[in-house]
Amino acid sequence: MMTADTETFVPLMKRSKGFDELKKLVIDQGICSGCSTCAAFCERITLDENGQAQLAEGAECNMNIGAVQCSDEGTCYDVCPMVSFSKPELEKEFFGDVRKDQDLGYYRKIVAARSKKKDILDKAQDGGAVTSILAAALEAKLIDANVVTSRTDEWNTSADLATKHDDLIAGAGTKYVRAPATMKFGKSIRNARKIAMVGTGCQTLGATRAITSLLKDTIEKTKESDTPLDFTLIGLFCFENFPYGCIKEALEREFGVKIGDIAKTDITRGKFIITKHDGTTDQKPVKAFDECVPEACNICTNFTSEFADISVGSVGTDDGWSTVIARTEKGEKLLENAVKLGYLETKDEVNLEAVKKNRSIKQMKFDATSKKRKEEDKFVPEYD
Ligand SMILES: Cc1cc2nc3c(=O)[nH]c(=O)nc-3n(C[C@H](O)[C@H](O)[C@H](O)COP(=O)(O)OP(=O)(O)OC[C@H]3O[C@@H](n4cnc5c(N)ncnc54)[C@H](O)[C@@H]3O)c2cc1C
């Protein structure tokens, strides 16, 4: 029951923005990236068939049922990568310093890497660097589990917790379809302590926001315990990621195939390339799939997954190799561990100009999209 005291006290407290504000600014305005971070930490939020956040059936945001504050601006709002916040502040919090290179983000070391394990190379997208780093980390018990993005024969995706070498291999390879990796990451805290996640730029950025806010105290409190909570983020270079329904239809139409006939997909040098189960390949300009590119990807400059312990992509290295950016001390150690345990070979030849060029194309898209959105009086996130 409200007393006279609380009646005068409550209006003075700051009210969190919560899901209504997130919906108004991000979801209703078409820039939810489907990263799923909001759904990781609030049981009232679920995802629709395209991976977009929505309130669970019959659920109401805490803010609307009497809570004045949830977390600072509301859990969902505090972790969303598509609202405005300061990236320099986040860099100081996560890396302890700000970036020296605008295009590549904060980093300590960049190498080309290739797996030395046949079982990994057979299944991997490029040099198998991601799966090798994780497999070596699992062997050395530096991680207990990792969130991988798996797929069905029909290329629909799911986020799964891999705890064994074979699970990691089963999850290898790129899927150009969204999956709720960050949601799985957040919900896995109940099942594992040293948790890694592989994700695209928006997913790892969402996870970084959670690690530096909501999870910060819990990480600190468990530091001296026998089972400290520890998180590792492996980011993927990413230009765009597609909702399943749209890309399935477009692939089948453009290539004249059933999606289940496709064994591997690759987007490289402006081409969408498919390899079928019979070994034949076909390609189309990636522009042919523009109708499926979410607005969130056009308003994102985070090509190299700038907030992660390690970021990995294909641009910048020869075919069959991966470009690996170790951003944190932990990331450097994971890379060294994979080399030491014989999972990975590395060399210094990386074409950084190629990586920067891709980043600048994303910047140009961002500039054009944000200009248009501003003219239409739509929200554009600011990250200064
Ligand atoms: C949507 C998307 C777009 C990309 N665009 C580019 C690009 O434009 N330029 C570029 O250089 N690189 C891009 N990449 C990265 C590239 O395709 C490879 O994933 C990267 O080079 C790592 O290769 P690897 O052989 O080391 O990885 P692997 O050893 O094969 O491991 C790949 C890892 O990525 C995870 N994964 C696969 N699909 C997804 C997904 N949809 N979401 C989250 N995790 C996933 C897998 O579970 C696995 O853990 C993109 C990746 C994705 C997912």
pLDDT digits (tens, 9 = 90+) for 331-363: 999 999 999 999 999 999 999 999 999 999 999
Contacts of 241 (CB under 8 A, 6+ apart): 33, 34, 176, 177, 178, 200, 294, 297
pLDDT for residue 5 is more than 90: no
Which protein residues touch ligand 1 with a CB less than 6 Å away? Answer: 124-131, 148-149, 171-177, 179, 181, 198-200, 236-239, 241, 267, 312-315, 322
pLDDT band for position 191 (cuts 50, 70, 90): confident
**Alpha-carbon span 277 to 316, nearest angstrom:** 28
**Alpha-carbon span 26 to 162, nearest angstrom:** 31
Strand residues in 212-261 grouped as ranges (E): 230-236
Q: Provide the residue type at 58 as one letter.
A: G
Q: pLDDT, tens digit, for every residue of 250-306?
A: 999 999 999 999 999 999 989 999 999 999 999 999 999 999 999 999 999 999 999
pLDDT band for position 213 (cuts 50, 70, 90): very high
Q: Which phi-psi region, left, alpha or beta, contains residue 342 (left: φ > 0; alpha: ψ -120 to 50)?
A: left
Alpha carbon of 141 to ligand 1 centroid (Å): 24
Token pair, residue 60, equals 């109401």
Alpha carbon of 108 to ligand 1 centroid (Å): 21
Alpha carbon of 242 to ligand 1 centroid (Å): 13
Alpha carbon of 229 to ligand 1 centroid (Å): 26
- Residue closest via CA to ligand 1's atom 18 equals 313
- Residue closest via CA to ligand 1's atom 48 equals 172
Contacts of 291 (CB under 8 A, 6+ apart): 246, 250
pLDDT of residue 12: 55
Alpha carbon of 137 to ligand 1 centroid (Å): 18
Of 354, 369, 371, nearest to 270 (Cα)? Answer: 354
pLDDT of residue 63: 81
pLDDT band for position 13 (cuts 50, 70, 90): low
Mutation test residue for ligand 1: of 115, 123, 125, the one with most atoms within 8 Å of CB:
125
Alpha carbon of 217 to ligand 1 centroid (Å): 31
pLDDT of residue 291: 97
Looking from the CA of residue 127, the nearest atom of ligand 1 is 25
pLDDT of residue 3: 43
Contacts of 57 (CB under 8 A, 6+ apart): 46
Model confidence pTM above 0.75? yes
Of 173, 188, 193, nearest to 266 (Cα)? Answer: 173
For 166-171, what is the mean pLDDT? 98
pLDDT of residue 6: 43
Alpha carbon of 173 to ligand 1 centroid (Å): 7
- Kindly list the distances between the CA atom of residue 277 and the CA atoms of 59, 254, 274, 321, 361, in Å, as whole numbers in the listed order: 44, 18, 10, 23, 33
Mutation test residue for ligand 1: of 115, 185, 203, 236, the one with most atoms within 8 Å of CB:
236
- Residue closest via CA to ligand 1's atom 4 equals 238
Alpha carbon of 151 to ligand 1 centroid (Å): 13
Share of the chain above pLDDT 70, in %: 96
